[in-house]
A = this chain, B = another copy of it.
Amino acid sequence: MGKAERTRAFIIQKSAPLFNIKGYENTSLSDIQEVTKLTKGAIYGNFKDKNELAIASFEYNCSRVFSEIESVLAEACSAKEALLAFSNFYVKNWKNLSASGGCPILNAAVEADDSLTFLKGSVRNNMEYILGLLKSTIEKGICSLEFRSDVHAGEYASLIFSIVEGNILIAKMMNHPKYLSIMDRRIRLIIEKELLR
């Protein structure tokens, strides 16, 4: 990794939490300057504009969450365990996630839909990515005969994801983790009553 790439990575790593907490619009280059201790020139030398940095930071935020989720899914020894581990990931990491601004996909999706349109493509890709992750987990369960063969993997993937996002939203605003346990129980129920043979 060359120096330029290291600087670029450094800027992203420092800015990403800020963007997730304050929002992409509301995070200024001065904020980024302060948190990186770099000059404007250094930042603009590595990113064409604030939008490029915002996208890179969003993708960094996602990748951080995704890599944890992927390792959690990989460690599971069955599709059921994998889905439960996915749900459990949010329960366990609620405090951290909440302190660092919440789910980056949720945040960026809301900001990107109408105003920060430049982010929209990236948000969509990342949402598709995590939906794909869940879908393929379910498909593996079907292939391995763990899950029923008539299960619509894509629909269950989006259903599970929607329950997660919806409850994260409520939990964050109400400042109470009970919604995450409702979420967790519901996902377990779905797995046991509808997915498992």
Contacts and interface: CB of A to CB of B under 8 A. Distances in A.
Q: Interface SS of chain A: helix, strand, loop or mixed? A: helix
Contacts of A192: none
Interface of A: 21-23, 25-26, 101-102, 106-107, 109-115, 120, 123-124, 127-128, 131, 155, 158-159, 161-167, 169-170, 172-174, 179, 182-183, 186
Q: Which of A155, A159, A179 has the most chain B CB within a 10 Å cutoff?
A: A159
B115 A22 contact: yes
A101 B114 contact: yes
A151 to B, nearest CB: 13
Number of copies: 4
A23 B101 CA distance: 17
A41 to B, nearest CB: 12
Contacts of A111: 23, 110-111
B173 A186 contact: no
Contacts of A186: 159
A165 B169 contact: yes
